[in-house]
Structure 1
Amino acid sequence: MTSDRIPEGVGRTAIGVARARARESARPDRLFEDPYAAAFVAAAPDGPPTVPRTEVSPARVALARHLVIRTRFFDDYLTAATRAGCTQVVVPAAGLDTRAFRLDWPAGTRVFELDTPAVLGFKERVLAEQGAQAPVPRTTLAVDLREDWAGSLVEAGFDPAARTVWLVEGLLVYLGPDEAAAVLGTIDSLSAPGSRLALTHGFNSKEQRRAGTSQVVEGIEWGPDLAPVVALWRGGLDEDPVGWLNRRGWRAEWHDRAELAVGYGRPADYVTSQRILVTAER
């Protein structure tokens, strides 16, 4: 029987992401609105505790702001990709993502969300309690991304011949180099011409991986409030993802999050200038 409680480890970090999205959604100048994020937080009383603002570390603030910018950027990217002809949206390690419900999808779009049974069980319970209804067909698939999941995705109705946009958000850092390469390799094998891909890449050197530091909050010391999250990081892809993708026939590029923030109307020092968001087109 599938549990409806948020699991320990990586699954629980999804509550932290939901909290950041809920706080942004409550701002009058919000960059996006996630109507279900607060419900996820409220439904997980054993999730990450709320930290008084006076005790929030600079690293936690930086990470939350990063989550805001990447959420808005990927919202725009997915919407543009589907309007340009990608009829399938696939989100490996979807966590508590609610884009299937809150974005304006073109008719004919189909969304696939992949994650562990425990995460999906919790997510579906909360969404059902909220009466959430996706405007387009949505398929959830319980898989282990460290194993062979391509066949399960196809069996669930995914069409490898159709143009697809993939979102690999906040996943690779929790995988080892070989596992991260395997996930991207599977995506590569399932992507028809015209497909698109967006991902986050938070490490840029072997030294950073060994030290447990990250581009996400470069130059800021981790506080004890984020130690449980940092302990889960395994480094991700062991090379430049843009080069990795380009060698396989993609046209990939980096995006600087500080430039994005300014474009969204946030102050120039809202986030540090780091190229950790990647998009690619086949």
Structure 2
Amino acid sequence: MRTEGDTWDIVSSVGMTALFVAAIRAVESKQPDALVHDEFAALFVAASGDPTTNQLIDNPQLWADSPLGTEFMGLRSKFFDNLFLAAAEAGVRQAVIVAAGLDARAYRLDWPQGMVVYEIDQPKVLEFKRQVLADAGAAPKADRREVAVDLRENWPAALIEEGFDPAVPTVWSAEGLLGYLPGAAQDALFARIDQLSAPGSSLACDVFDTDLDYQQIADFQAEQLRDLPFGKIDFVDLVYTDDRSDPAEWLTNQGWTTTSARPEELAERYDRPLTAALQPMAQMFNNMRYLSAAKPA
């Protein structure tokens, strides 16, 4: 269970979900029609020494044969990749990856000259990522700056201290994050992003509808996934289900222009048919929205 002020490394609590996501990205990257190419994801998993996620990479058929569907992570990664690339093409030169986890976009995307990428996350998570990439001899394709701070603390001050300029447009991502924040922290996150965003900024996040039945998902995990690697991550115990504002509604009220897409819409957009998932996982995927927002210039 989560506690106030809890912390984690890459093989515990919320950090473990980042490692799991990296394993799925590594598997997706090997597909002939891969929507994301992440050469670093497998390095993170191997360096962690975690047998569960390494098993997924060593035997990707475990994922393909699972009752979860197989395209979710590819669609999600492609959505956020496109957000950053579109903003950069439009002239934005400042990006912030909120709760960066094992996101390697600073290394794998083709950023333009002068791009600065800020990564916000727990100190132990960023330290692990930095060491793995350094050991691999990897060099970022942008000016990458770490902001080692908990999102429940004063992260805007830490971000500005690293050189962030709130007077210029920024592209923001909050990928796979919101459920891991208490409602008050989520609302504060968007308020702070709004305050730090100059006109011409953009933002993307993924959002679950409020009527998602988390207990049904927990029961399904215990019954159907207990013998599979991804059954060992107690997702429901890591998320918060307290009241919070709807991000699309909140941003619209602040003057942002918002659009949302469901997974099936992304599947059509990226020409990747979805494999049917069993209930209640299908309900979880269907209750997900991918939100894009722009602050008018």
Normalising by structure 1, we get a TM-score of 0.87
How far has the Cα of 1:106 moved from its partner?
1.6
Structure 2 counterparts to residues 110-259 of structure 1, below 5 A: 110-205=116-211, 208=213, 211=215, 213=217, 221-222=220-221, 223-224=225-226, 225=231, 227-235=233-241, 238-259=244-265
Matched pairs, number = 269
Q: Which amino acid aligns with 2:128?
A: F
- Find the residue that maps to 2:48 and give its secondary structure: coil
Q: Which amino acid aligns with 2:292?
A: T
| Equivalent in 29, 32, 45 of residue 36 of structure 2 | 32
How far has the Cα of 1:227 moved from its partner?
5.0
Structure 2 counterparts to residues 103-114 of structure 1, below 5 A: 103-114=109-120
> Which deviates the most, 183-192 or 230-239?
230-239
Structure-1 separation of matches of 2:241 and 2:202: 24
Q: Which runs of 5+ in 2 are unaligned?
A: 1-8, 278-284
Distance 1:80 1:237, change over 3 A: farther
Is the Cα contact below 8 Å between 2:71 and 2:272 reproduced in 1? no
Is the Cα contact below 8 Å between 1:7 and 1:119 reproduced in 2? no
Is the Cα contact below 8 Å between 2:11 and 2:50 reproduced in 1? no
Is the Cα contact below 8 Å between 1:15 and 1:48 reproduced in 2? no
Q: Which residue of 2 aligns with 1:41?
A: 45
How far has the Cα of 1:13 moved from its partner?
1.1
Q: Which runs of 5+ in 1 are unaligned?
A: 215-219
Percent identity over the alignment is: 40
Is the Cα contact below 8 Å between 2:98 and 2:121 reproduced in 1? yes
Q: Which residue of 1 aligns with 2:16?
A: 12
- Find the residue that maps to 1:187 and give its secondary structure: helix
How far has the Cα of 1:262 moved from its partner?
2.3
Normalising by structure 2, we get a TM-score of 0.83
Q: CA RMSD in A?
A: 2.4
> Which deviates the most, 183-192 or 48-57?
48-57
Is the Cα contact below 8 Å between 1:254 and 1:275 reproduced in 2? no
How far has the Cα of 1:240 moved from its partner?
2.3
Structure-1 separation of matches of 2:72 and 2:145: 28
How far has the Cα of 1:48 moved from its partner?
3.3
Distance 1:16 1:275, change over 3 A: closer
Q: Which amino acid aligns with 1:208?
A: D
Structure-2 separation of matches of 1:273 and 1:176: 22
Q: Which amino acid aligns with 1:221?
A: F
> Which deviates the most, 46-55 or 64-73?
46-55
Q: Which residue of 2 aligns with 1:21?
A: 25
- Find the residue that maps to 2:238 and give its secondary structure: coil
